[in-house]
Amino acid sequence: MTYRNFTIETDADGIALVTWDMPEKSMNVFTAEVLQELAAILDATVADAAVKGVVFTSGKSTFSGGADLSMIKSMFSFYQEESARDPDAAAAKLFELVGQMSGLYRRIETNGKPWVAAINGTCMGGALELSLACHGRVAADGKNVKLALPEVKVGIFPGAGGTQRVARLTDAQSALQMMTTGQSLTAQRAKAMNLVHQVVPAADLVTAAKQMIKDGLKPVAPWDERGFKVPGGGIWTPAAAQLWPAAPAVLRRETAGNYPAALAILKCVYEGLQVPFDTGLRIEQRYFTEILRGKVAFAMIRSLFISMQELGKGARRPAGQPKTEFTKVGVVGAGFMGAAVAYVTAAAGIPVVLVDRDQEAADKGKGHCEETVKGAVGKGKLSADEGKAILDLITPTADYAALSDATLVIEAVFEDRDVKKAVIEAVEAVLSQGAIFASNTSTLPITGLAKNSKRPADFIGIHFFSPVEKMMLTEVILGKETGDRALAVALDYVAKIRKTPIVVNDTRGFYVNRCVLRYMAESYNMLIEGVPPVMIENAAKFAGMPVGPLALNDEVAIDLSLKILKATVADLGEKAVDPRHLELVTRLVEQEGRFGRKNGKGFYDYPPKPAKKSLWPGLKALYPQQKPDDVDMDVLKERFLVTIALEAARTMEEGIVTDPREADVGSILGFGFAPYTGGALSYIDGMGVKAFVALAEKLAKDYGAHFRPTPLLKEMAEKGETFYGRFNPWGASEQAA
């Protein structure tokens, strides 16, 4: 029999080499077809007496990233359709559906012939769970080998036997740490945890796997043998008595109870280790079904898995534009931001010209890149040769003529209209016809900057976030005259440097900064009301934000906040800002000399390391303080989430953001908006627009007019609409939930 996604070769020793190599895919992923073929291969190898064992490997440079986007989508659409007809029957059908992969893996584990997984490259999610169901596991020794069960990061958990097998192969604490954080393991770390048996050079991978079978590998999992004992002794031991009472408390400290899947992992392991293995699988299946039925899993998977993949693959790329081949990219401005942009560009294999006012400044910019490479090599993320290859692609210069053959030029100079005007004119004087000019401005509208350009159709904004090397989001900003080709080139570039783009129309602050400023502004309101600063920071974290608004403001820089407030007043008038906010920030900067982390003094004090930062005691003296017992933490949490979500809704109403996927992904990747909600608009949809409007109106009555729901929200509430329904990004062919 022939297979579309696999090839099988049986050698003279009777060992069948099953190679997973999906056509027209850069990475193997699980689809319904793959699972059907795998089941057929299992049946065929069991039936063939000549086959003594199976080695399962990948024909690609990496093993597998797990489930396919379409497979995840189909599971949710199936449940939604069935639930509309009969909720109870839908739950039962979903339970059986989620058990199919786990059931197949259990069949492999108990088929009577030894299977060995030969793992090269990334092996994540369902692929690692498949490997754990094999009787032997051999991993290649290389830094590109990563093993992980990262499902918790998208709102679910390892539901194909992962919680049961990992907890029976390694100690419970390590198992919980791995699964509740989704951490990646190196091959050596996985071996130390007993998740793989051997680590060998990549060239010897299949040979070593076959040798395991030749050496008499038993086709029986440890837990299926008589007398099996769980590593560490299981649940009823002195060590477990220390672990299990503390585990839920530690998890709550880390997640504030916002991630049901993480708690489900604890339940699966705790309950599963007390029963036979097959019963443990059923327990896992039950909890997995429960999690899939919840709104957290749906929202997180939609935004952090489906939408991110769709946007990363060019969902917003204009049709009919040829793919861009980048022969050279220019970066003008060799400060920290420009140097970082040059670094990520070179790291993607694109030659970069780094231009500044003089050679010394340009060389200093490349020096920043050299420090980045040095740090990456020191941490083992790059080899010395790889680091040198990146640096060799970066050419520092003061000569604008070096940009003449660039495909794309990115300006990253100081946020000053006159400075940017001079750069635009200097670049366009040498730039070839058809090349694209991009501004990395974070505050200045692109349309205004494009007025300095002789070819505004080729002018676009590409807004990076700091630190550029780590932040995965990039805003691509359209001016009023930006053409489709400029957008296509910008999106091709963002894809090449492996970041996720969102496309926004021009406005002051674009999308992310508008939302971030609302977040910080609400913390100003709370300070002025006398809410204790520590409660402000903790409420934000309990709401799901990764960084409190005061700490975030310190990172952004308080003196920059003052510049933004003053610029807003200058451009839009005094009524455009709250005078109390201006007074607060002015006092911090001009009277107290507190600029933020950069000068060691902001809302926090930053003592020399290793001492940790702490809130500045003087904050409590600025305004009369409320008693902590008089402050409702739940209301503080609502205020933070609602003010951001309202701003996201305004951008949709104004046509700044046109795709709800981008609003959600942008809010999570840009500033960490409570990922468990699925993003700012999913937060509204998940609550229901009618309920959100009611909450906003209550907050407006108690805390100010800035909480008033917009006309669009009121209209949607009356009609019973959702953002993903009204602004369906997939068109009529797909139902929006």
Phi, psi of 439 (to 5 degrees): -105, 135
Nearest Cα residue to 101 out of 124, 73, 129: 129
Residue 733 one-letter amino acid: S
**Whether the bond into 617 is cis, omega within 30 of 0:** no
How many residues in the chain? 737
Any idea what the Cα angle at residue 14 is, between residues 8 and 16, rounded to 5°? 20
Q: Let me know: does 365 contact 396? Beta carbons within 8 Å.
A: yes
Phi, psi of 32 (to 5 degrees): -60, -40
Residue whose tokens read 């359209």:
478
Distance of CA 298 to the CA centre of its chain: 16
Angle between helices 549-556 and 512-529 (to 10 degrees): 120
Dig out the tokens for 463 from the structure: 């807004």
Strand partners, 30: 67
Dig out the tokens for 174 from the structure: 């390590």
Share of the chain residues as helix, strand and coil, in percent rounded to the nearest 5: 55, 10, 35
- Could you tell me the sign of the dihedral formed by the alpha carbons of 577, 579, 583, 584, in that order? negative
Q: Let me know: does 681 contact 652? Beta carbons within 8 Å.
A: yes
- Could you tell me the sign of the dihedral formed by the alpha carbons of 309, 315, 317, 320, in that order? positive
- Count of C-beta atoms within a 10 Å radius of residue 456: 20
How many CA atoms lie less than 13 Å away from 181 in the CB half-sphere?
A: 11
SS3 463: strand
Helix (H) or strand (E) holding 614: strand 614-615
Strand partners, 19: 7, 57
197 part of the active site: no
DSSP assignment, residue 367? Answer: H
**Whether the bond into 467 is cis, omega within 30 of 0:** yes
Q: Let me know: does 316 contact 460? Beta carbons within 8 Å.
A: no
Those residues whose C-beta lies under 8 Å from the C-beta of residue 264, and which sit 6 or more positions away, are 157, 287, 288, 290, 291
Report how far residue 345's alpha carbon sits from residue 328's, in angstroms, rounded to the nearest whole number. 10
Report how far residue 570's alpha carbon sits from residue 699's, in angstroms, rounded to the nearest whole number. 30
Alpha helices for 110-171 (secondary structure H): 126-133, 162-169
Q: Let me know: does 420 contact 452? Beta carbons within 8 Å.
A: yes
Beginning with the edge strand found earlier in the chain, give each strand of the sheet holding 408-411 in spatial order: 394-397, 352-355, 329-332, 408-411, 436-439, 459-464, 473-478, 500-505
Report how far residue 547's alpha carbon sits from residue 184's, in angstroms, rounded to the nearest whole number. 23
Nearest Cα residue to 614 out of 622, 625, 606, 602: 606
Find the catalytic residue in 135, 463, 581, 706. 463
Report how far residue 716's alpha carbon sits from residue 725's, in angstroms, rounded to the nearest whole number. 10
Nearest Cα residue to 135 out of 100, 111, 159: 111
Nearest Cα residue to 707 out of 645, 660, 636: 645
Q: Annotated catalytic sites, by residue?
A: 463
